[in-house]
Chain A
């Protein structure tokens, strides 16, 4: 796992916009200008979906990368938030939906989801390492089976459809361009928040607890408290992602938070890399591209489109085998190698 990242001190004299590398500015302009040259399918189905999955995976990356807790609960939290928006707000199932206005139902949904996540976190932090995976997987699947069987609140197998974002400021947020900016906004916000938090006292303490919980406890940090707080914080990001996901597909059903999607979020985070917050978004983008276009590729190879899971599983295996830090790890190694002199192996100064 990565050690704590320090800010490079020689950059302190600069203004904040000069400290951000040029690549990020180019990326930001590119993303903002995307609707000018991308069609609505790309905006809505590819970028919108990738941002949402990236957010949910980001919350996992925060827990796993900084907190050392691989929680398979994040998709469940997202699913619960999506359910709550459908139940408290509007949906086509008018017998269950309460029809509260958006400014009540959305905060309430996020609140309920994070209370749930905090309680589960309280249970999960009693165990460590691989045990956490087992317990969160068990909770996640219990939620799935419960939502599928319960018809009074969760409307059973079919779930809710006809869930749409509110018409705010005269904009129909379901339109591809508007939805693209909506997801871009929330994804960027949560990305910056995690980026900031990784260097804030709370994030640093969390990374310390990941590396050596005993020492941190001896230093007077409340280890359990920090871990539970991390669950609570991550759940807010996952919950926002879940609400956006419900709006994007217009429906929520038990399958949204089934065992498959729960594992998919882990795959996304691992493929992208869990060292830095950008990793989950890279992973989500690759996942969405694969999911959208793999069918065509597979058919052209004569394999039939339904072998998509095989492709995902094999690429996941390949990543775990050769680069446990995901694509980001590959990128870091490539940069490291480029920075070295090929003959002596010494570090050159970066070009």
Chain B
């Protein structure tokens, strides 16, 4: 409670001089906070597909980063050639989801229950995909530019300070696109939660997470559920690729970065849990941004430290079930 109160005060109040001397200007702090939260939204998009696939099929899909990167490339070319940024999302979703279906049908179904072998196969696939994408798209950086109505900063109601002379309050400016995308990530998260907890399909998925064999014994067509979940998880990764391409850039090497980010998020949050992925993504996003602002050399260590502490005290993750 006290921590939350202090945090709220730090966000809303005008900072006194001593605090400014201690940890720098409020603008920096608020920017790190916002960047952390929006980055968490992006991580959530990537990691939720990963954790969904893992929870249901026990398949650690180490090619998830490659799916993310492919989504980014597809999104870039669709947005670039048609001129509609919004069109990039369904395009990336569909292309990557189709690839996910193909992977599930042609590869993973053949080795069901052999989770180590599946993991090794996904490593192979990620190597092959990374090289094919390098071959096809080259080593350049691609930036997906958002449409004009989303670019540029937006006034928020957070105070960053007061003007020296007039005493007027200065409000923070923040890129619109990041806020919109974060809202979309939250909406997708809530939608997923509703889908999982309020619908028949969601019931089947949850039952499959608990006991696959029992579910197939009751007559549910579990292979269909598997294909559906894999397609959805892969599609989410593809959409996240478009988001990542808008936030940052699409380039070789990003696949590994986001694979690792989703690994850490899922380890921290708890494997197979959607709320866990949300919490983990938020924590890791904040840790990364605050780390890079306040202790640049050791930002990675901070992320890593969170993971170690969680593993040491709650090996199943914050929201995971033992």
Residues of A within 8 A of B (CB): 70, 123, 126-127, 129-131, 133-135, 137-139, 141-142, 145-146, 149-152, 259, 263, 266-267, 270, 306-307, 309-310, 312-314, 316-317, 320-321, 324
**Do B116 and A129 touch (CB < 8 A)?**
yes
Residues of B within 8 A of A (CB): 58, 60, 62, 115-117, 119-121, 123-125, 127-128, 130-132, 134-135, 256, 260, 263-264, 266-267, 271, 296-301, 303-304, 307-308, 311-312, 315
**Separation of A141 and B65 alpha carbons in the complex (Å):** 14
- Set B120, B128, B132, B304: member contacting A270, Cβ < 8 A: B120
**Separation of A135 and B119 alpha carbons in the complex (Å):** 13
Whether A131 touches B271, Cβ cut-off 8 Å, given contacts A309-B131, A317-B125, A320-B117, is yes
- Set B123, B131, B135, B315: member contacting A263, Cβ < 8 A: B123
**Do B124 and A317 touch (CB < 8 A)?**
yes
User: Nearest residue in B to A145 (C-beta to C-beta)?
Assistant: B300
User: Nearest residue in B to A141 (C-beta to C-beta)?
Assistant: B260
**Do B124 and A149 touch (CB < 8 A)?**
no
CB-defined contacts of A270 to chain B, threshold 8 Å:
120
**Separation of A126 and B320 alpha carbons in the complex (Å):** 14
CB-defined contacts of B307 to chain A, threshold 8 Å:
135, 138, 142
Query: In whole Å, how far is A294's beta carbon from the nearest beta carbon of chain B?
Result: 12
CB-defined contacts of A149 to chain B, threshold 8 Å:
296-300
> For the complex, would chain A's binding face be called helix, strand, loop or mixed by DSSP majority?
helix
Given contacts A309-B131, A316-B123, 8 further A-B contacts (CB under 8 A): A127-B315, A129-B115, A138-B264, A266-B120, A306-B134, A313-B124, A320-B117, A320-B121
- Set B131, B301, B311, B315: member contacting A313, Cβ < 8 A: B131
**Separation of A141 and B119 alpha carbons in the complex (Å):** 18
**Do B260 and A138 touch (CB < 8 A)?**
yes
User: Nearest residue in A to B312 (C-beta to C-beta)?
Assistant: A123
The 9 closest A-B pairs by CB, nearest first: A313-B127, A317-B124, A313-B128, A142-B304, A145-B300, A309-B131, A310-B131, A126-B315, A316-B124
**Do A259 and B303 touch (CB < 8 A)?**
no
User: Nearest residue in B to A270 (C-beta to C-beta)?
Assistant: B120
